[in-house]
Amino acid sequence: MIGIPPFLQVLGTSPFLLAQTTNAVADELRWIAWAETATAVGTIILALIGIALGVAGFYMLRAAVRVLRSLEKTVERLAPKAEPLLEQANRVTEDAAEVSRRVRQNIDEVNDTVEDLNRQLREAIEKAEARVRRFGAVLDTVQEEVEDVLLDAAAAARGVQVAAEALRAPRTDRSEIERRAGD
């Protein structure tokens, strides 16, 4: 008898059962082969993508190196021209700093002058106010004196008028005039 593999000994020796088992194993083997084929194709695709990325990276690196070399040459060519420009920029910066310092100094001087003028103006205003107050007091005194003089003058004029009327009038009318003068 031919030796039956141990995994088939479990199934027995029935031909029908053996045919079924062979078909099931064949189907499983087909699926395994298909999976291995799909895996191989996927691996090949990934390898091709990796190779393409590597080649693209290599060319990009070469292009970057060329750009850097070109940039280096341009910098070397422009360096002598840039030095005077940088020196001029430094001079302009120094001049601007000097102008700024002078403007600040002038502004400080103007500010000091304005402060001095403001102080002097306040002092002048205070002195003028004091003089106006003193002048007001003098005017009040003068006004009182003028009022007193005017009242005295009015009284004197009234007295002169009454005396004149009394002297002009006959004696009998004088008592009437004296009476009116007392009012």
Domains of the chain, by residue range, sit at: 8-182
What's the mean pLDDT in 172-179?
Answer: 60
Hey, how many other C-beta atoms are within 10 angstroms of the C-beta on 165? Answer: 16
User: What pLDDT score was predicted for residue 85?
Assistant: 82
Q: If you average pLDDT over every residue of the chain, what do you get?
A: 83
User: Which is nearest to 169 in space by CA: 157, 156, 178?
Assistant: 178
Q: Which carries the bigger pLDDT value, residue 72 or residue 16?
A: 72
Which tens digit of pLDDT belongs to each residue from 107-157?
999 999 999 999 999 999 999 999 999 998 998 999 999 988 988 888 888
Residue 137 tokens read as 């007091």
Kindly tell me the number of DSSP H helices and DSSP E strands found in the chain. 3, 0
Residue 62 tokens read as 């070469």
Q: How far apart are CA 69 and CA 80, in angstroms?
A: 18
Residue at 153: amino acid letter = A
The answer to whether 13 touches 21, Cβ cutoff 8 Å, is no
Q: Is the pLDDT of residue 1 over 50?
A: no
The answer to whether 128 touches 140, Cβ cutoff 8 Å, is no
Hey, how many other C-beta atoms are within 10 angstroms of the C-beta on 18? Answer: 14
Q: How far apart are CA 23 and CA 31, in angstroms?
A: 12
Q: Is the pLDDT of residue 169 over 90?
A: no
What's the mean pLDDT in 35-41?
Answer: 93
